[in-house]
A and B are shown apart, each in its own frame.
Chain A
Amino acid sequence: AQTVTQSQPEMSVQEAETVTLSCTYDTSESNYYLFWYKQPPSRQMILVIRQEAYKQQNATENRFSVNFQKAAKSFSLKISDSQLGDTAMYFCAFINSGAGSYQLTFGKGTKLSVIP
């Protein structure tokens, strides 16, 4: 079974600073996708970024970037120039392409607080 581990239950960062959220996963498959979703206080689940396992290049989306280390099964999210609106729960998630179904497996989440 696939598992996703987020070892930091809570983190805080000063506005305009950079923060990195950690995620590790476990799978025996070679083809899979990784995601970071953001859940602000409104409870909406918002896709932040996506990484295909077969791509060596790390994905970036504006202020958000990932450090994907396939051999280490690590997928961290870096948020640059943190803004107050980045305050949210962040979930790392995984889809195993070989499973026959494409449900997301989520980590427990990291609660990020951006401090003015």
Chain B
Amino acid sequence: DSGVTQTPKHLITATGQRVTLRCSPRSGDLSVYWYQQSLDQGLQFLIQYYNGEERAKGNILERFSAQQFPDLHSELNLSSLELGDSALYFCASSVGGGAIADTQYFGPGTRLTVL
């Protein structure tokens, strides 16, 4: 158990809908990272937050957004869902804001299925 929690574990929804994925980092970690794992694209970085502020953006679609709250948990919002958004979404956390020595610890992931 990495100490990173993600809810829900599974999510099934229809095209056009909106969902919210939730992540709680390890105690003491200030950074949260979101990654998407799909069969065709592999593991891709989406976005990073550090202590409530956006730190870096990767291949995140405009239909997706995220935020980190004062208690440091983070939410990833996916809207106007398409079939291709079906994937495993991981949250990871680290102590610092990207200090290179930080190890990222991953949560168990949320499996999103768009029908």
Within 8 A of B (CB), among A82-105: 91, 93, 95, 97, 100-105
What chain A residues lie within 8 Å of B98 (beta carbons)? 100-102
A105 touching B45 in the complex, CB below 8 Å, given contacts A43-B109, A44-B108, A97-B100: yes
Instruction: Count how many chain B residues have C-beta atoms less than 8 Å from C-beta atoms of the other chain.
Output: 27
Contact B108 A91 (CB under 8 A): no
| Mask: chain A, 103-115; 1 = CB below 8 Å from B; 0 = not | 1111111000000
Count the A residues whose beta carbon is within 8 Å of the partner chain — how many? 26
Q: Are A109 and B100 interface neighbours, CB within 8 A? A: no
Q: How far is the CA of A105 from the CA of B45 in the complex (A)?
A: 7
Chain B residues positioned under 8 Å from A50 (CB to CB): 103
B10 to chain A, nearest CB (A): 11
